[in-house]
């Protein structure tokens, strides 16, 4: 009897293809620039085609409240299987419920996101950065930005020795990131000029799944310099996920600073490292 009830209830909660299509079209009618769709649970991907066909900006997420959503003005949370488990946490963080509706077993809630926006995104500004390797007192330039490949090429004979823009799946979602695989006995330096920095640098970082599965994988260190002074060291341990750190720096409104990231490791084997950052 319990088994019959369980499977009957599961079928009642499982959205059909038509359910997903109706949801996507309903969202599209009121979708505005700056909006995004968050779909939870992250494994409920059977309706993805409907969001693609509707040309909606969407993302599958494990935890809605633990994502930054730095650029979004409004967020549409699409939840199946009653799995928007961190709704209260999201509201406590400041998200403001605006509207909600249900179609079949799927619930949609739209939130206004009133928090501060990034003032400088390091991934977007990477083409304007200065990238080089530092070995002791020697600095070896990675040359000019290669727009065709969206990277600085640091070694023509070793493709992995580059610093570039990419989109990667990390933490169960697609992320914009900067590839910066560390190299033995070398600091990879990424230097930005004229960065508005008044309060905080938010840094996300992670390894590929393949790299994190390496049992002997070494940590990767991220040293951050402001105007030539090392203000902190972050550590990417040999773990899965897309990790988040906040680095506080008290600047003054209107001031521009030189900000530099230094990436290093004691052993570079399978250290497929990526990061992103922005200022607020």
3-state secondary structure of 66: coil
3-state secondary structure of 15: coil
Sign of the Cα pseudo-torsion (198, 259, 127, 74, in order)? negative
Q: What is the pLDDT of residue 99?
A: 96
Whether residue 227 contacts residue 257, with contact meaning beta carbons closer than 8 Å, is answered with yes
What number of other Cβ atoms are within 10 A of residue 244's Cβ? 14
114 CB-near residues (< 8 Å, 6+ apart):
94, 96
pLDDT at 132 over 50: yes
pLDDT at 168 over 90: no
pLDDT at 139 over 90: yes
Peptide bond into 192 cis (omega under 30): no
Q: What is the pLDDT of residues 254-265, one digit of tens each?
A: 899 999 999 999
Residue with tokens 């914009």: 176
Phi and psi, residue 191, nearest 5°? -115, 130
254: exposed, middle or buried (C-beta count within 10 Å: 0-12, 13-18, 19+)?
Answer: exposed
Domain at 120-279: CATH code: 2.60.120
Q: What is the pLDDT of residue 12?
A: 54
Task: Specify the pTM.
Answer: 0.83
Whether residue 193 contacts residue 260, with contact meaning beta carbons closer than 8 Å, is answered with no
pLDDT at 3 over 80: no
Question: How far apart (Å, rounded) are the C-alpha atoms in residues 200 and 70?
Answer: 13
The pair of structure tokens assigned to 204 is 């996300």
Identify which of 175, 226, 194, 202 has the alpha carbon closest to the alpha carbon of residue 280.
202
Question: How far apart (Å, rounded) are the C-alpha atoms in residues 33 and 217?
Answer: 42
Give CA 92 to chain center in angstroms.
22
Buried b (16+ CB within 10 A) or exposed e, 194-211: ebebeeebbbbbbbbeeb
Q: What is the pLDDT of residues 82-105, one digit of tens each?
A: 789 999 999 999 999 999 999 989
């Amino acid at each position: 009897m319990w088994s019959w009830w369980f499977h009957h209830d599961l079928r009642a909660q499982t959205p059909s293809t038509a359910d997903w299509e109706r949801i996507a079209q309903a969202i599209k009618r009121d979708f505005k620039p700056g909006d995004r769709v968050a779909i939870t649970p992250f494994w409920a991907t059977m309706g993805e085609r409907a969001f693609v066909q509707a040309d909606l900006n969407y993302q599958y997420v494990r935890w809605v409240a633990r994502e930054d959503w730095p650029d979004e003005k409004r967020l549409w949370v699409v939840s199946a299987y009653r799995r928007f488990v961190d709704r209260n946490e999201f509201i406590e963080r400041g998200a403001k419920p605006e509207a909600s509706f249900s179609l079949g077993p799927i619930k949609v809630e739209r939130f206004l996101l009133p928090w501060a926006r990034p003032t400088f995104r390091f991934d977007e500004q990477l083409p304007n950065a200065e990238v080089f390797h530092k070995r002791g007192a020697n600095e070896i330039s990675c040359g000019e930005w290669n727009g065709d490949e969206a990277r600085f090429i640091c070694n023509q004979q070793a493709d992995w020795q580059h610093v570039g823009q990419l989109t990667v799946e990390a933490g169960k979602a697609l992320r914009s990131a900067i590839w910066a695989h560390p190299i033995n006995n070398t600091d990879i330096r990424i230097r930005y000029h004229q960065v508005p920095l008044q309060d905080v640098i938010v840094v996300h970082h992670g390894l590929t799944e393949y790299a994190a599965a390496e049992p002997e994988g070494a940590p990767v260190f991220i040293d951050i310099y402001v105007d030539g002074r090392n203000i902190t060291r972050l550590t990417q341990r040999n773990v899965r996920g897309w990790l988040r750190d906040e680095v506080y720096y008290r600047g003054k409104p209107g001031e521009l600073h030189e900000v530099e990231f230094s990436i290093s490791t004691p052993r570079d084997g399978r250290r497929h490292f990526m990061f992103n950052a922005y200022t607020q």
